[in-house]
Amino acid sequence: TREWQLAARPHGEPTPDDFRLVELERPGPAEGQVVVRMLVMSVDPYMRGRMNAGKSYAAPWEIGETMKGGAVGRVVESRSPAVPEGSLVLADAAWRDVAVLDAAHVRVLPELPGIPPSYYLGVLGMPGLTAWVGLFRMAEFREADAVFVSGAAGAVGSLVGQFARLNGASRVVGSAGTPEKVRWLTGELGFDAAFDYHDGPVAELLRDAAPEGIDVFFDNVGGEHLEAAIGAFNEHGRGALCGAISGYNAVEPPPGPRNMFLMVGKKLSLRGFIVGDHTDMRDEFTTKVTRMVTSGDLVVRETVRDGLDDAVDTFLDLLRGGNTGKMIVKLAEG
Ligand code: NDP
């Protein structure tokens, strides 16, 4: 079996030298274990935090440790009656091609028409639930709200904007990093307005895109985007603080929003959250979003790259914005 390990902690932007691909002898499965051949694995922004020493929102990877992440695979050998050979399973187990896992640590997935395995890493997986929890529970989205989502062309953001539109938002505005992404948001996803945040001060771009102000902000980016949203909020505005990717490679703490005091007069509430604390919403989310996917109401897009050998390049490209929709690494057919 081949797997990626963390070789060094990055200073600023990670480089390929911070990772190494190793070949290991694979033990046979013990009683209660299964052997899983991975089909697709996820690369996610939170993994950048795991490369640092000290806790971010996930525990750090140790140097020389197997890097882990969400993956879907096929059970090729089983010593657990609960997870028979042939099952499609989700596990926090990849950055490797094959893994021996405790059956208790895998989740058996349904195999539904129109739902490829990779969807369990995106729209029907952790990023999808993040979008759902953040919009509906944290930001308490209500019909007729005007919504702004930063990082809108990514895995989480592209779903937030669509959930808001499908639930009666008065206006949906998104930001993203390229003109193509901006066109995709307004063209295919039905955003009312979108802008490329490279095109000027975010506060000005947002004012033009949402002249009547915003009621809800879903933040994936932080920094200048957060300051701009605080400025654009209407009274009683609500923000879900999901991520702050503009600062993940920062070596010094980035400056905070300079206009926090506006929160007082506007009576704003901004709430940070971690999706893992909200798994009680998973059943409702899965039922409703599966229906939205199979009915075609939801536009689902992935950027799929091939192979374990290139998984690090794919991860680094995710951090630089090389993806539209969910970034997926394809490992095998099946
Ligand atoms: P994405 O699919 O959105 O991929 C990351 C995107 O970030 C890139 O495509 C890029 O798009 C954008 N980006 C990179 N650098 C910058 C920058 N300096 N400024 C603005 N945008 C930048 O990832 P996810 O949808 O998986 O995650 C989105 C956010 O949600 C992340 O912040 C992540 O940490 C967070 N998250 C939080 C969870 C929680 O429980 N709180 C759970 C899951 C995700 P572009 O071309 O537009 O720049």
Same-domain status, 90 and 136: no
The CA 321 to ligand 1 mean position distance, Å, reads 8
Same-domain status, 114 and 146: no
Same-domain status, 47 and 10: yes
Ligand 1 nearest-atom number relative to CA 49:
34
Same-domain status, 106 and 145: no
Which ipTM score applies to this complex?
0.99
Residue 270: enclosing H or E segment and its boundaries? strand 269-272
Closest CA to 160 of 127, 209, 206, 198: 127
Q: Is the CB of 151 under 6 A from ligand 1?
A: yes
If you count them, how many residues does the chain have? 334
d(CA 88, CA 244): 33
The CA 320 to ligand 1 mean position distance, Å, reads 10
Same-domain status, 202 and 271: yes
Enclosing domain of residue 83: 2-123+300-330
Q: Which two tokens stand for residue 102?
A: 């405790």
* pLDDT range class, residue 3, cuts 50, 70, 90: very high
Asked if pLDDT for residue 46 goes beyond 90, the answer is yes
d(CA 119, CA 90): 11
Closest CA to 268 of 219, 201, 196: 219
Nearest CA to ligand 1 atom 8: 321
Asked if pLDDT for residue 56 goes beyond 80, the answer is no
* Cβ neighbours of residue 108 closer than 8 Å, sequence gap 6 or more: 82, 83, 87, 88, 89
Confirm if 334 and 74 have CB atoms less than 8 A apart: yes
Closest CA to 77 of 111, 47, 33: 33
Structural domain includes residue 222: yes
Residue 57, SS3 per DSSP: coil
The CATH number that applies at residue 224 is 3.40.50.720
Asked if pLDDT for residue 121 goes beyond 90, the answer is yes
pLDDT at 334: 83
Asked if pLDDT for residue 58 goes beyond 90, the answer is no
Residues 150, 155, 156, 162, CA torsion sign: positive
Same-domain status, 33 and 100: yes
Hey, which of 148, 178, 220 would you mutate to test ligand 1's pocket, going by the most ligand atoms within 8 Å of its Cβ? Answer: 220
The CATH number that applies at residue 308 is 3.90.180.10
Structural domain includes residue 287: no
Q: Is the CB of 222 under 6 A from ligand 1?
A: no
Confirm if 271 and 239 have CB atoms less than 8 A apart: yes
Q: Is the CB of 66 under 6 A from ligand 1?
A: no
Q: Is the CB of 128 under 6 A from ligand 1?
A: no
Question: How far, in Å, are 85, 98, 334 from residue 330 at the CA level?
Answer: 21, 13, 11
| Percent of the chain topping pLDDT 70 | 100
Confirm if 43 and 80 have CB atoms less than 8 A apart: no
Same-domain status, 158 and 72: no
Task: Please state the rounded mean pLDDT for residues 236-263.
Answer: 96
Question: How far, in Å, are 68, 268, 269 from residue 262 at the CA level?
Answer: 41, 8, 11
Task: Please state the rounded mean pLDDT for residues 290-296.
Answer: 97
| Percent of the chain topping pLDDT 90 | 96
Tens of pLDDT, residues 125-179: 999 999 999 999 999 999 999 999 999 999 999 999 999 999 999 999 999 999 9
Q: Is the CB of 245 under 6 A from ligand 1?
A: yes
Same-domain status, 224 and 259: yes
pLDDT at 54: 82
Q: Which two tokens stand for residue 174?
A: 């998104």
The CA 82 to ligand 1 mean position distance, Å, reads 36
Structural domain count, the chain:
2
Q: Which two tokens stand for residue 103?
A: 């059956």
Closest CA to 277 of 157, 129, 149, 155: 129
Please provide the average confidence, as pLDDT, over all residues in the chain.
97
The CA 63 to ligand 1 mean position distance, Å, reads 25
d(CA 129, CA 276): 9
Structural domain includes residue 294: no
Tens of pLDDT, residues 203-222: 999 999 999 999 999 999 99
Ligand 1 nearest-atom number relative to CA 153:
47
Same-domain status, 19 and 118: yes
Q: Which residues pair with 4 in a beta bridge?
A: 21
The CA 217 to ligand 1 mean position distance, Å, reads 15
